[in-house]
Amino acid sequence: EDQVTQSPEALRLQEGESSSLNCSYTVSGLRGLFWYRQDPGKGPEFLFTLYSAGEEKEKERLKATLTKKESFLHITAPKPEDSATYLCAVITGANSKLTFGKGITLSVRP
């Protein structure tokens, strides 16, 4: 059974304090790994897709990386508006079903 584990469950940062969110996975035949951002009471917003180990993608203060066992979402000099829950999901098999982790709630204090 595919498993996705995100850590830590919650993270509190001071504005400008860089850090990383972890997503480890145990799957058979990874086709892709996805990062989403979710604000309270809203639907997830797509951030990145990573397909192969060594791949990196960046968007503003966020950078996602992928290894054979895990992915990191690096947040550089975060701002309060980066506060949200960050979801990681993997896709395996031919039916494009996503398996999600429980999410990491990030809070950035001004």
Partner 1 sequence: DGGITQSPKYLFRKEGQNVTLSCEQNLNHDAMYWYRQDPGQGLRLIYYSQIVNDFQKGDIAEGYSVSREKKESFPLTVTSAQKNPTAFYLCASRNTVTSTDTQYFGPGTRLTVL
Cα end-to-end distance, the chain, whole Å: 41
The residue from 45, 56, 58, 81 that contacts partner 1 (CB under 8 A) is 45
Is residue 2 within 8 Å of residue 95, measured between CB atoms?
no
Q: Judged by CB under 8 A, does residue 31 bind partner 1?
A: yes
Q: Is 22 in the site for partner 1 (CB under 8 A)?
A: no
Least Å from the CB of residue 14 to partner 1 = 26
Site for partner 1 in 72-91 (CB under 8 A): 87, 89, 91
Q: Specify which residues 74 forms β-bridges with.
A: 20, 63
Applying CB under 8 A, does 110 fall inside the site for partner 1? no
CB 36 within 8 A of CB 97: no
Q: How far is the CB of 79 from partner 1 (least distance, A)?
A: 24
DSSP strands (E only) in 2-103: 3-7, 10-14, 19-26, 30-38, 45-50, 56-59, 62-66, 70-75, 84-92, 97-100
> Residues 13, 21, 25, 36: which binds partner 1 (CB under 8 A)?
36
Contacts with partner 1 by CB under 8 A lie at 4, 31-32, 34, 36, 41-46, 49, 87, 89, 91, 95-103
